[in-house]
Amino acid sequence: MEPTIHVKGKIALITGAAMGIGAATAKVLARNGATVIVADISDEAGQATADQIVKEGGAAEYISLDVTSEEQWKQVISTVVEHHGGLDILVNNAGIIKHTKLLDLSLKEWRLVNSVNMEGVFLGTKYAVETMRPDGTSGRGGSIINLSSVGGNIGAPDMSSYCASKGGVRNFTKAVAVECGAYGYNVRVNSVHPGNCLTEMFKQEFEEMVENGEAESIDGAMKFYMDMQVLPDMGTPEDMGAAILFLASDASKFVTGAEFHIDGGLLAK
């Protein structure tokens, strides 16, 4: 029997879910049967995302989470398990980007980017595995999807801190996938690598390119990025959500330690 791609009856925690890829993923998982916990530090936007899911007939709630705080991670996962009986899916989506030349990059800025992008993923993964493993408080296994980036595979000017953090997520994911298999934890761990995606962060990048004289218009800035890839359109947050849905579902039960490049063929060129 062919596997069906759905997440019915599963409990999913998604970080950075107030907007962008996180919000789109929350909506996709909810439409496909999951109870979604929308986690973010942007309380108003996060609550709005959860409310919209509920309005559309899905199951969702908002919870405040600073992914750089170990204590908050412990509390949030404990609360989710207590209120919902378990945790089946974790999407480590929260992330930030800084465009700074290496010679202008401060240690403080470096640590900020890595604390969110890398350490936040470490903390979430650690405490999710702890609760998902057979002797954990959830104990029924699960799927963890870590958001890396094409920047985790290749370099880019003025983005050393970002590329380093996303490269860390890439290899961390593989190491944890192998470890979970070695210890029989029944937890799959995979990474998703978005390419050019029409998020608010990317739209801001277009505007900055025009302001800095790097492009004559928003369309020109968009063309600059689209010329990097194979397919003729920019990706959307929903495209990323669709890939995450597959990795969260039992249809991907034989997939772990993999990296999914959702990039319009950018890394193929």
Domain locations in the chain?
11-196+236-268, 198-234
Contact 265, 225 (CB under 8 A): no
Task: Express each pLDDT in 153-163 by its tens digit.
Answer: 999 999 999 99
DSSP 8-class letter at 4 = P
Exposure of 146 by Cβ count < 10 A (0-12 exposed, 13-18 middle, 19+ buried)?
buried
Task: Express each pLDDT in 166-206 by its tens digit.
Answer: 999 999 999 999 999 999 999 999 999 999 999 888 888 88
- Predicted confidence at residue 3, as pLDDT, reads 66
> What is the fold of 11-196+236-268?
Rossmann fold (3.40.50)
- Read off the pLDDT band of 119 (50, 70, 90): very high
- Read off the pLDDT band of 4 (50, 70, 90): confident
CA dihedral 175, 78, 143, 22 (to 10 degrees): -100
Exposure of 119 by Cβ count < 10 A (0-12 exposed, 13-18 middle, 19+ buried)?
middle
- Predicted confidence at residue 204, as pLDDT, reads 85
Closest among 15, 136, 24 to 64, alpha carbons compared: 15
- Predicted confidence at residue 259, as pLDDT, reads 97
Residue 1, pLDDT above cutoff 80? no
CA gyration radius, the chain: 18
Question: What is the residue type of 19?
Answer: M
* Catalytically annotated residues: 162
- Mean pLDDT of the 62-81 span: 98
- Mean pLDDT of the 29-46 span: 98
- Mean pLDDT of the 59-75 span: 98
Name the token pair of 112.
Answer: 């900020």
In whole angstroms, how far apart are CA 55 and each of 47, 61, 165? 12, 12, 36
Contact 198, 218 (CB under 8 A): no
